[in-house]
Amino acid sequence: MKSLIKDIIINAADFAFKNGLLPSDFKPDMDIEAPRHANHGDFSTNFAMVSASVQKMAPRKIAEVIVSAIDVKKIDILEKIEIAGPGFINFFLAPTAWYPFIKMIHDDGENFGRSDIGSNKKVQVEFVSANPTGPLHIGHGRGAAVGDAVGNILAFSGFDVQKEYYINDSGRQIRTLGLSVWLRLSQLLGNQIDFPDDCYQGDYIIDIAKEINSKMGDLIAQKSEAEAVDICAKYAADKILQEIKDDLVGFGVEFDRWFSEQSLYDSGKVQDAINTFQDKGVIYQKDGALWFSTESFGDEKDRVVVRNNGLTTYFASDIAYHKDKFDRGFDRVIDVWGADHHGYINRINAAIEASGRKKEQFSVILVQLVNLLRGGQPVAMSTRSGEFVTLKEIVDEVGKDAARFIFLSRSYESGLDFDLEVAKQQTAENPVYYVQYVHARISGIVAKASEAGIISDQAKLSLAAKSQNSLELLKEAEELNLIKLLASFPEVVQKSAAALHPHFIFTYLTSLASAFHGYYNHYKVITEDEDLTISRLCLVSSVKQVIKNGLTLLGVSAPERM
RNA sequence: GCGCCUGUAGCUCAGCUGGAUAGAGCAACGGACUUCUAAUCCGUAGGUCGCACGUUCGAGUCGUGCCAGGCGCGCCA
């Protein structure tokens, strides 16, 4: 639609130039947008203002010339054109311009909104990637919802998307996990122990120790401490990782690949990356350690990759991991991190540039922290003491759909208050029901129409939409407004993909839901007039489809009944 | 001290690459169910967009400097 408007403007400008009404045939980089206020038309352009300096004419004068060069009567999608404000040219479209979208939605179905702006480029979205040392909490939940939705939106926009989880199954935290479990096991067997502060404090460690004791207590007893700790570490990490996987499935998140940090060491890729960077001269030796000169790539200071005790830092495997991502053929790599990790962006950027990739190929989505509340009061959360509400508990209490929708309701650049009581409420305060209710309501209407024999099934409805015979009966302002909103969905998806902002979809869905609920309360879909009934059924079933498409991108279900 | 994020209605937040009269929900007040689901709708009220300069036809949006809050600045992960 916008490109049609643009063609009209360009043609008018050409015409005006050829007839000597404009001194220059220069075409500025104009905007064509849907104005905020309906009385500013369906589309508006700033052509006249941005041309003013080149044309050396007043903006309103230019606008007059352009408008005079457009024959509204000859263009059937146009109703009228107005000049307003400092020189905006406002286009008012005829209702007939909008009806084809109903047909398009019925034709495209679940693919309405899909685009190919991604040109099938390979994109990897890595998210959650929590250490397998404890259960997922609410912060991981927000990251999971964001990463999953971003992946869905990019895939819907024509990118070839892979969702990946990076398992930190190597290094100190895993040894600490093993030690924590082993100490608890030892405690179970009646030994006096000193449980260190830097060990994992949660009760789940004791549960795992109990499980190991009953399953293989005898075996462990025969091992040396070092071996026993190793066994505990392996057992606990496997067990916790499995629970993480289960919890994510329960949250509706499925990964295409689970990537092990340890595998980078086993395959020699960490050492390869270090060697490569040494050859390039970006890794050097100092004070018995190996340093990566990240400062020359814009970081605050250089960073250690191999400590003077010979052990690599986590940064060494991160370098290898990100190098490997691109070696696997991804054009673009997106990491979803908690905001508390923002200090690492520069050094990963350095690693990416040193690997010969462009900075633009890598983006980090920083997800701000979540405050968990219950009835307005903060819920005490401390990983250190092991006292925290897990993601599973939240999903069990409020449901997957409510949790995901709330996580995606705000920009991830803002902190989020997540109130368990609000998330459980089935009121307008809880936006998920507000939107899902649209889908359920329309399902009810279509079912009733079907029972009444007005329209027997979805297929016939699609047929009616395609014929467009009676769609012109949809002439109420609310109906045209709904169609315009539906027509804008593809653009919303594309903007969401370009900005990597899933909450655009949320905002869109709530405004579409609001428009529908208002319409529903004013007009009956099923009336005595069969033609009108059929055209309204076409309209509301389009709304239903778009609501479902949007919810699907966010990983939220669209129920037939509530 | 340095870096990142945030600051918009009483509260929680939208505001897309700079556009016209800054929006929504909640809370408050007044209305609408013998009706396709009231998990809904309609109406009223609510603002120096943290502050100050600057960029330009035009700034909530961009730049600089302050102020306030959150987070981060390890040969930890």
Q: Is A156 exposed, middle or buried (0-12, 13-18, 19+ CB in 10 A)?
A: buried
User: Measured between alpha carbons, how far is residue A414 from residues A177, A333, A376 in Å?
Assistant: 33, 23, 18
User: What is the residue-wise DSSP string for A156-175?
Assistant: HTT-EEEEEEEE--SSHHHH
A383 φ, ψ (degrees, to nearest 5): -65, -35
Which nucleotides of strand B lie under 7 Å from a protein CB?
A: 2-7, 12-17, 19-27, 32, 35-42, 57-58, 70-77
| pLDDT by position in tens, chain A (length 562) | 788 888 899 899 999 989 988 888 888 878 888 888 878 889 999 998 888 878 888 888 889 999 999 998 888 889 999 998 888 999 999 988 999 999 899 999 999 999 999 999 999 999 999 999 999 999 999 999 999 999 999 999 999 999 999 999 988 889 999 999 999 999 999 999 989 888 998 889 999 999 999 999 999 989 999 999 999 999 999 999 999 999 999 999 999 999 999 999 999 999 999 999 999 999 999 999 999 999 988 888 899 999 999 999 999 999 999 999 999 999 999 999 999 899 899 999 999 999 999 988 999 999 998 988 888 888 876 655 666 789 999 999 999 999 999 999 999 999 898 989 888 887 767 899 999 999 999 999 998 988 887 776 666 666 676 666 678 889 888 999 999 999 999 999 999 999 999 999 999 999 999 999 999 999 999 988 888 888 999 999 999 999 999 999 999 999 998 8
Q: Please compute Rg for chain A using Cα positions.
A: 30
User: What residue has its CA nearest to the C1' of B37?
Assistant: A441
User: What whole-number distance in Å separates Cα of residue A168 and Cα of residue A64?
Assistant: 65
Q: Is the CB of A26 under 7 A from strand B?
A: no
Domains of chain A: 2-94 (3.30.1360.70), 100-115+429-554 (1.10.730.10), 128-266+368-424 (3.40.50.620)
- The three-class DSSP label of residue A260 is strand
CA(A337)–C1'(B44) in Å?
Answer: 45
Contact A279, A321 (CB under 8 A): no
- Cα separation, A472 vs A369, whole angstroms: 49
Residues in A 279-298 whose C-beta is less than 7 A from nucleic strand B are 286-289
Q: Check whether residue A307 has its CB closer than 7 Å to nucleic acid strand B.
A: yes
Cβ–Cβ under 8 Å, residues A439 and A551 = yes
Name residue A356's beta-bridge partners: none
Q: Coil, helix or strand for A358?
A: coil
**What's the Cα-to-Cα distance from A443 to each of A30, A297, A402, A509, A541, rounded to whole Å?**
42, 56, 20, 17, 8
Between residue 30 and residue 49 of chain A, the positions with Cβ below 7 Å from nucleic chain B are 31, 33-37, 39-41, 44, 46, 49
Q: Which residues, other chains included, contact A393 with Cβ-Cβ below 8 Å and sequence gap of 6+?
A: none
Q: How many angstroms separate the CA atoms of A241 and A264, rounded?
A: 18
